[in-house]
Amino acid sequence: MTQAEWLTANDPTPMLEFLRGKASKRKRRLLACGCCRHLWRMLTDPRSQRAVEVAERLADNAAGEDEVRRAVDDAAAAILTIGVDVFQAFSLIG
């Protein structure tokens, strides 16, 4: 993938394929967080926003296991309040 293709891409699939094996787990996690930040206004439940913030700290090893578990549980609860199947939602990102 060239820089021009990257900058004009509308489909994230080839972009993610390009990064496979090139980007560290930290960078991939921060990319996902950046995507969430881009859609921040759509994350209307503070639990969802907190999950992104915790994921950012996790990328830098600054979030503890209990904090991460709590954020995941809270984000799952937020998803349930809007009537989305949690397992289906997490399977899309997992």
- Residue 89's pLDDT band, with cuts at 50, 70 and 90, is low
pLDDT of residue 90: 59
Note the pTM of the prediction, 2 decimals.
0.74
pLDDT of residue 85: 67
Three-class secondary structure of residue 25 per DSSP = helix
Residue with tokens 């809007």: 82
Q: Is the pLDDT score of 93 beyond 60?
A: no
Residues 6+ apart with CB under 8 A from 32: 55, 93
Cβ-contact 29, 55 below 8 angstroms: yes
Between residues 37 and 6, which one has the greater pLDDT? 37
List pLDDT tens digits, range 40-73: 998 989 999 999 999 999 999 999 999 999 999 9
List pLDDT tens digits, range 11-47: 888 888 888 889 898 988 998 899 899 889 989 899 9
